[in-house]
Structure 1
């Protein structure tokens, strides 16, 4: 989505937000600790905070051209600066709708073409919230390659610049930890995904996606307000885009996170990052707004909490936002499958505890007073549980090329939320009766789930063994079947069904059934027959016994010297129990050997003699 902004002018009766919420409240949080802030979980301070520079340039307005309908004003003359990668303009008060800011930057010694700096005032913090005190309006940040020069123009009918106009240049360089982070992203949380899985009221288990935490991407926690504002539930999730550059590598995304965070907190004066989560174009998920108290040593799982963000004006309470890093109004997603999977997985995990269906509608009371939202203050917004920002706001966000993927995101999230028994593993599934092995069975059962496991004969359906239990926490059912019956008698060769049933309260999950085969290598073949097809051509056929595990391959070889030596084993076509031979001589004896094979081994060899008639 476009970056969000709602400004409320400071008046003499308001405490300056920077002083109150970044200094006074920080002191209070540390002084009173958990006794006064016990309702909000907390997060320990981390030490990885790469440098982020914020250069503020004072505009020097120069009228460059004027007509009755349009005035062009130079805001910043061509200026050489320290390196930066983000450009943004902020101001106080409303901006006339016809105002257009354009910018060009110097990259690698060359000036770029002119780019428009977009802005929308229907994004951002809720105007009546405490966070709105002291916030500023601003453009979407323009992300560039590393630049060291800038020029900005403004065009409008009046030519009048907004109040307290500021130009901020933000930069954070890619670090070695950023590169290492990307290399190991797919392993993050592997051990904790199950521990932090979400469970739906119907018993569905949604594994936690891999989320790059704020500590991992290098958030400076002193920039944010120390005590997040918390909701009480989740009603819906919104998909946005950042409307920034799409030209970034996987290892550059963490630096973009730091720059966006700086723009939100240092330039727009937000309490924190506006979005709850961000997803890069490669499908990596990043933690956005912090839901944890600053400074406490006790761990806090911020992503799982309903922290109030600043992303969808009037509808921030009890919702969350996932923003795709890039501009998807001008560019198509480069890896749409990865982005859809990442957003859908995160949506499903966040919605699961609240029993929300992605294709159902949410009802949310708006608090918007800006007049730019589709739903004004006190109106009931009825919108899909997974919505695009444009569904509720007067905006193109999340862009013309990302918005059409919302049906796929809803469909995939619906699949992930389905109440099924996940991660069923049964090993081994094929056992040699002459070399018995225990069968290890595991599956993810939701917390509070009552489960039953049965072993039955696949032909007679006779139940041979049962086990049952109750899962205290969401986790693995872990059971070993030793290949015996309830009377501890070993089972015979055959096919057996491992069935798992589970229920959470009144919600019954679909059962899962896995077949285990206990068998032997093939029995020796029989009934070898000879049939003459021509003067020198003959066909040999044979039969395979009805084994538990049928033969899948057939082999034959021939001797024409009385069985003293044989040719190479030849595998028959398509596993058929027949073979055709040519150039056999009339009256000569031929010895044939046949054997078959399956996954457990090869049968004994059957030898038979034929005379070519």
Structure 2
């Protein structure tokens, strides 16, 4: 199905607010989309935070303290850098696969201690816009590893080692070549925005043991807060239009959309399937987590509906507190746009380890915004990323509960039962060719649509629990 692209700020706001929730927006014929921001470093101070890009070169094995580094290894020797909190490695060709290992170690700005070597997930092309779409064919795109949250750091060392040579058909060894243009990206998320919703959540931090004690369906909400705090402050044009598309749920510039009871949710969603809509959960807005609207491409892209939700993990590691979640999200956003060359953050929503839900890609939390989260299945779906890495570690119960609460509401707006399957058409990927009609769970894991480890085995195993809980929230028999 064809996506509609609204590029002019005024047209986007007017059209979005004029249509009932859940209906696609018509294309705006006024102004063409502005050029996308280039995937380059920016540290001129014109926007909060910064991205610094440092080229990797062939390692001097005598100086790298890496006896296993072969002659083809690349990296960056230990060095002092300006403060950063998230790190990733990118390269020129988005279609090129990095066959090898990527590792970093960083120095804490607080303790001055160096971390052990940490692996970056280097098979990250399973995320992204669908092939053939304007975003998927943009010249700004870069290949990349998943980013890793390391906290406030001021030193870095990188090593990239190719896999061992593969044996060719004639019995000779075929060397593995690393992609061209390898460089490390050091992302500083910038200071927390004053009056942001994160200020209201700092008392929510608790350790993973307490999270695991909570049973799914009994997730803990944040402390009582004024959902309009921060509303009315001076907004840029870009901030205004992003906030306006949520205008029927929150005041202009509000840091959060407040939760509603099931009855109030049904009353506020005329024209949608009843009574199977879950209660609207509390959602931290882009304003609340401090998204710089000047980074992304202007305008929004919509599809026609939301038929399924794909659950992901961000693969950024679990070493963050819930008070840092907004900083993690700003860093991922900056990495997706500045380093990888996407039009906006790829996920439609994010969830932290304490169960807080965040608005992701701009365009309205209730609307069918097209994301860049599941290569081949970004049409008529929504993407939800749980912040963390869940290949082995147990995902916090609060996060699983938040997945259920969010999908009960979002899928309920479009009349979808979280327990059933639906038919989606592949936009192209390594599991299903373009045009293939595929039966998938209404709540699926990323690996269901693409051959990937995401969302990690531990989180994937919890999706059955999330489906049942979401149906309960919707009030389904």
Q: TM-score, normalised by structure 1?
A: 0.56
Residue matched to 2:348? 276
Residue matched to 1:407? 464
Residue matched to 2:171? none
Of Structure 1 and Structure 2, which has the larger fraction of its residues in strand?
Answer: 1
Is contact 1:88–1:139 with CA below 8 Å preserved after alignment?
A: yes
Residue matched to 2:232? none
C-alpha distance in structure 2 between counterparts of 1:58 and 1:365, whole Å = 39
The 5 Å alignment of 1:311-350 reads 311-333=373-395, 335-336=396-397, 338-350=398-410
Residue matched to 1:146? 152
Q: TM-score, normalised by structure 2?
A: 0.72
* 1:359 CA drift (Å): 1.7
C-alpha distance in structure 1 between counterparts of 2:405 and 2:288, whole Å = 20
Change (3 A) 1:53 1:227: same
The range that moved more, 213-222 or 171-180, is: 171-180
Is contact 1:315–1:365 with CA below 8 Å preserved after alignment?
A: yes
Is contact 1:240–1:398 with CA below 8 Å preserved after alignment?
A: yes
C-alpha distance in structure 2 between counterparts of 1:414 and 1:192, whole Å = 17
C-alpha distance in structure 1 between counterparts of 2:27 and 2:152, whole Å = 38
How many residues align? The count is 375
1:382 to 426, 432, 439: 439
C-alpha distance in structure 1 between counterparts of 2:292 and 2:85, whole Å = 18
Q: Which has the higher contact order (CA 8 A, sep 6+)?
A: 2
Change (3 A) 1:330 1:41: farther
* 1:153 CA drift (Å): 1.0
Change (3 A) 1:262 1:195: same
* 1:137 CA drift (Å): 1.4
- Residue 267 (str. 1) matches residue 264 (str. 2): no
2:130 to 100, 104, 126: 126
- Where structure 1 has 5 or more consecutive residues not aligned to the other structure, the ranges are 1-20, 43-48, 292-301, 421-613
Change (3 A) 1:32 1:362: closer
* 1:192 CA drift (Å): 5.9
Is contact 2:15–2:26 with CA below 8 Å preserved after alignment?
A: no
- Where structure 2 has 5 or more consecutive residues not aligned to the other structure, the ranges are 19-24, 29-45, 166-174, 203-221, 228-256
Change (3 A) 1:181 1:70: same
- Residue 397 (str. 1) matches residue 454 (str. 2): yes
Is contact 1:198–1:352 with CA below 8 Å preserved after alignment?
A: no
- Which deviations, in whole Å up to 9, do the C-alpha atoms of 1:124-149 show, x marking residues without a partner? 11121101212111110011021111
Is contact 1:273–1:289 with CA below 8 Å preserved after alignment?
A: yes
The 5 Å alignment of 1:36-75 reads 39=25, 51-62=48-59, 64=61, 71=71, 73-75=73-75
Computing the radius of gyration from Cα coordinates, the structure with the larger value is 1
Residue matched to 1:228? 300
What is the SS of the residue equivalent to 1:328? coil
Note the aligned Cα RMSD (angstroms): 3.1
What is the SS of the residue equivalent to 1:89? strand
Residue matched to 2:424? 364
Is contact 1:198–1:208 with CA below 8 Å preserved after alignment?
A: no
Is contact 1:181–1:216 with CA below 8 Å preserved after alignment?
A: no
* 1:64 CA drift (Å): 3.0
- Which deviations, in whole Å up to 9, do the C-alpha atoms of 1:221-258 show, x marking residues without a partner? 11112111100111110110001121211211111111
- Which deviations, in whole Å up to 9, do the C-alpha atoms of 1:283-307 show, x marking residues without a partner? 000000001xxxxxxxxxx100000
Change (3 A) 1:190 1:96: closer
C-alpha distance in structure 2 between counterparts of 1:219 and 1:75, whole Å = 31
Is contact 2:307–2:380 with CA below 8 Å preserved after alignment?
A: yes
Is contact 1:212–1:286 with CA below 8 Å preserved after alignment?
A: yes
* 1:122 CA drift (Å): 2.1
C-alpha distance in structure 2 between counterparts of 1:351 and 1:99, whole Å = 39
Is contact 2:142–2:341 with CA below 8 Å preserved after alignment?
A: yes
